Amino acid sequence: MFTREGILSLILSIPGLLLAIIFHEFAHGWAAYLMGDNTARYSGRLSLNPLHHLDPVGALCMLLFRFGWAKPVPINPNNFKNHRKGVIIVSLAGPFANFVIGLISWILAYASQLLLGTVSSFAMFLVNIFVISGYMNVGLMVFNLIPIPPLDGSKILLEFLPYRWQYKIYQYERYFSLILLLLVYGGTMTPVLSVIRSYVIAFYELVAQGIFGLII
């Protein structure tokens, strides 16, 4: 049963969840468009409307575990001007967008405390929202870089494998997806993902401290 603090944490997580999902998928679609593929544009996915990108299960995992996924933007790599370059850039675009939004969120958390102080409840409300947004974005970034289909990391890895291997892996992608879900719900990957996330957050800390010279 959820405690009052747990419910409050879920509520504060919603802005970060929406930012993480919206910009992750929008970045994929926009990068694909720049690489020569209009599929996302024609399907209405070049949008900042969160309803176009939310995956119910992935969003729930983001809220509960700080790791999750969104509804993939439709992309046709055959339209890319350069196939390998296009796939790699488009696959990296989503996680990179999360990295940037996470860093901005962390900097805004520092700025909120610096400008509003630590006594104001409104200041702490903003700080919590921005900090959680940072964790949400880093969680989505790290999770999607796992080299297991259908995540972004797998698409990058496959571009460096022989075609026959790519074909086999794509042929059994549904089974990899099932394995991925079992790993997520079983908590097998959580310790590793948490360590990676902590390193990214530590980098955010260094950047924010360098800008403001204070520690939250």
Closest-CA residue to 130 (of 122, 178, 36, 60): 122
pLDDT in tens, 103-147: 999 999 989 888 877 667 777 888 999 999 999 899 999 989 998
Among the ranges given (45-49, 146-150, 184-188, 204-208), the one the predictor scored with the smallest mean pLDDT: 184-188
- Peptide bond before 150: cis, by omega within 30 degrees of 0? yes
- Residues 125, 128, 131, 136, Cα dihedral to 10°: -110
| Residue linked to tokens 């980098």 | 203
Which amino acid, residue 26? F
Active-site amino acid positions: 25
Nearest to 21 by CA among 57, 192, 126, 187: 57
HSE-up (13 A, CA, CB side) for residue 191: 2
Tell me how far the alpha carbon of residue 147 is from its chain's centroid: 15
Over the stretch 49-97, which tens digit does the pLDDT of each residue have? 887 888 888 777 777 766 667 788 899 999 999 999 999 999 999 999 9
Which residue, 139, 138, 126, 141, is CA-closest to 15?
126
- As a whole-number percent, the residues of the chain with pLDDT over 90 amount to 40
Say if residue 211's pLDDT is above 80: yes
Name the maximum alpha-carbon separation found in the chain: 61
- Tell me, rounded to whole angstroms, the distance of Cα 162 from its chain centroid: 28
Mean pLDDT for all residues in the chain: 85
Q: How far is it, in rounded angstroms, from Cα 145 to Cα 176? A: 15
**Higher pLDDT pick, 209 / 178:** 209
- Which of 7-16, 30-39, 115-124, 179-188 has the highest average model confidence (pLDDT)? 30-39
Residues 190 and 67: beta-carbon distance below 8 Å: yes
- Binned at pLDDT 50, 70 and 90, residue 215 comes out as low
| pLDDT at residue 203, rounded to an integer | 97
Q: Is the pLDDT of residue 9 over 50?
A: yes
Give the per-residue pLDDT at 119.
Answer: 64
Q: What percent of the chain has pLDDT over 70?
A: 92
Q: Which residue has the higher pLDDT, 66 or 200?
A: 200
Average pLDDT on 177-198 reads 80
pLDDT bin (cut points 50, 70, 90) of residue 1 is: very low
